[in-house]
Structure 1
Amino acid sequence: MACGAELKTTGERPYADPEAAARKLLELAGQVEPVQDGRIHIEKINALFLFTLKASGPEFGAGIRYAVQHGWLELHESGTYVRVLPPGEGLLRQ
């Protein structure tokens, strides 16, 4: 292995579980100032999730799908923004 190469641990990834990823995405969405009509640009939470938390793209996708399926988030058909729905707002207060 080259000097300075990053070693990955074999421990469990914290957002490998879609529910955990979805809950974290809701938490991140709660930190972002929505624009018109409660819209949160997807790149705002995507950047935090991928680059700040070092999660993966598949974890992000699974988390978004889980949140949408459970009525926590609404994902616009264009994929450019989400909206936190009332069931998701309840999770923000916990």
Structure 2
Amino acid sequence: MKRAAKRSFANPEVAARKLVELATTIEAVEDGRIHIEKINAPFLYTLKASGSEFKAGIKYAVECGWLELHESGTYVRLIGTSAKAAPAKD
């Protein structure tokens, strides 16, 4: 019998902190915009997270005021200084 592997980003707070951490490493284009695929690709393919973990992480980060998600879903913005402090907790 195979056991399911533990999902590192199953907790939305952990996923959100990692997404904010990724966003802080990306140079924003105009008006502080960070294209969603710039954080989506490393989160899904490098870190091997799932789409539902990505969605839950983005939602949590928006609710906490760390990220602002554009209504089109094409980009995010880091919000305030709390976003820079968010990834510090491990």
Question: Normalising by the residue count of structure 1, what TM-score does the alignment of the two structures yield?
Answer: 0.85
* RMSD (CA atoms): 1.4
**Match for residue 41 of structure 1?**
35
**Match for residue 7 of structure 2?**
13
> In structure 2, how many angstroms separate the alpha carbons of the residues matched to 1:12 and 1:54?
12
Task: List structure 1 segments (4+ residues) > 4 angstroms apart after TM superposition.
Answer: none
> In structure 2, how many angstroms separate the alpha carbons of the residues matched to 1:91 and 1:67?
9
Query: What is the correspondence of 1:1-94 to structure 2 with a 5 Å cutoff?
Result: 10-86=4-80, 87-91=82-86, 94=88
Identity %: 64
Q: Which has the higher contact order (CA 8 A, sep 6+)?
A: 2
Question: Normalising by the residue count of structure 2, what TM-score does the alignment of the two structures yield?
Answer: 0.89
| Equivalent position amino acid for 2:85 in 1 | G
> In structure 2, how many angstroms separate the alpha carbons of the residues matched to 1:52 and 1:85?
25
Unaligned runs of 5+ in 1: 1-7
Unaligned runs of 5+ in 2: none
Q: How many residues align?
A: 86
- TM-fit CA distance, 1:71: 0.4
- TM-fit CA distance, 1:89: 2.2
